[in-house]
Amino acid sequence: MKRITVLGIGNILLQDEGFGVRVIEELQRRYRFTEPVQVLDGGTLGMELLHFITGSARLLVIDAIDGGQPPGSFYRLTGEAVQAYFQDKVSLHELGLKDVLAALKVLDEPVEEVVIIGVQPAVLDLGLDLTPAVVAMIEPAIAAVIAQLKGWQAEVWENG
């Protein structure tokens, strides 16, 4: 099985913007993943992610997404919706990730499938805490990640 990368991105210093990172923290605390799954906190890295994503056949991104919906709205993007995600610039990190994916194509190591899981942020002000609407979406995001990994035939175990 080829590598699967689960990547949480976001800035934990800007409240809801840290959603992706907070989901990754919970996944790492609660679950164990077998090779070839790697679960990474990408923070606000851009092209630096190239090293970590190279060799991945599948990429699952968790992020705060400004899709214009009410705070706490849940997003799961696949296929053409992923392309629209990059074109519409609905994430503060889409440019860095878009560049990484383009570079991987140039290097002849393209990611075969990208899925994005996100939530509509309520507040992007300085602060470490997620708002209640976004906190409420951590569990659904974790469930979506686990379901996607199992759909990709990855093995996942709860820590116990």
DSSP state for residue 155 in the 8-state scheme: -
Q: Which of 76, 74, 65, 55 is nearest to 16 (CA)?
A: 65
On whether 51 is known to bind a ligand per the annotation, the reply is no
d(CA 111, CA 13): 29
Q: Is 72 left (phi over 0), alpha (psi -120 to 50) or beta?
A: left
On whether 125 is known to bind a ligand per the annotation, the reply is no
Residue whose entry in the numeric block shows the structure tokens 């190591």: 109
Question: Which residues belong to the annotated binding site?
Answer: 17, 63, 93
Question: Which residues belong to the annotated binding site for Ni(2+)?
Answer: 17, 63, 93
